[in-house]
Amino acid sequence: MNTHEIDYQIFGEEMQFVEIELDPKETVIAEPGSMLMMDEDIEMATIFGDGSKNEDTSFMGKVFSAGKRMISGEKLFMTAFTHEGTGKKTVSFASPYPGKIIPLDLSRLEGKVICQKDAFLCAAKGAKVGIEFSRKLGRGFFGGEGFIMQKIEGDGMAFLHAGGYIIEKKLAPGEHLRVDTGCLVGFTRDVDYDIQMVKGVKNMMFGGEGMFFASLMGPGTVWIQTLPISRLADRIMSSAKGYGGKRGEGSVLGGLGDLLDGDGIGGMFD
């Protein structure tokens, strides 16, 4: 294997974290800011790129790698956590928002997974984290992720994070699945991914599902999230604008309910 072999355990329900167990000199890489806690003998280092063996280590290679991460909306640097002591030690990484952590054994997934740009959480050192350009115009404009997605390659463990509950679908050759574009987390290399327009003008305008579906054709594995972070953020912003953060939120009385409760009436006679 080119990737470090690591053991792991996932804890929690809605706000999960993954605990990685490292032997001496083993390393795990992660997005900056995702670390939750680590044992004393774990040393942290900020690095350009992902530290994989097949990465170009020249100055221009590192600059190009950093530029690709900027294009994909990711941070310039990654963080490497290495066990520099003896025995077994652990380092843990937390979910950035409510959802699930998805463990991926890349050796069993044909060595490559393509995913949405903010899905990567951490991986054993040796995994290559890069960008995947879409060659299809419609997919780039209307696929929810634009022309650029992330790709994770290697033969070890990697971990994604997505919102809500995660569904794993295994597609047989020729099996077709349509998914809301925002709910698609990732898929294996042989899945044919494209965009399909919703049929019917009324469905497009008033169906509430947008104008396009993600069209996925097997064979391969697909991961789907029930609550994309963009949808959660939209709901929170909509509620904040509609109710101004008052306690009457969700009540048919709205502001009148605030007026008629104890605080409202008391305030009138203060």
Distance, in Å, from the CA atom of 60 to the CA atom of 113, rounded to the nearest integer, reads 26
In a domain, 147, yes or no: yes
Tell whether 213 is covered by a domain.
yes
The CATH code of the domain that includes 206 is 3.60.160.10
- Decide if 224 is inside a domain: yes
Q: Which residues span the domain enclosing 175? A: 7-233
Q: Is residue 264 part of a domain?
A: no
Q: How many domains, in total, are found in the chain?
A: 1
Structure tokens that stand for 46 in this block: 């900020």
As a whole number of angstroms, the distance between CA 228 and CA 80 comes to: 28
Residue 267 lies in a domain: no
Identity of the highest mean pLDDT range in 16-25, 111-120, 188-197, 239-248? 16-25
Residues 201-234: tens digit of each pLDDT: 544 444 445 567 888 999 999 999 998 887 777 7
The dihedral built from the CA positions of residue 69, 138, 215 and 110, taken in this order, carries a sign that is negative
Question: Residues 41-53: pLDDT tens digits?
Answer: 999 999 877 777 6
Please, where are the H alpha helices in the chain?
59-71, 137-142, 201-206, 229-243, 255-260, 262-268
pTM value is: 0.77
Confirm if 22 and 121 have CB atoms less than 8 A apart.
Answer: no
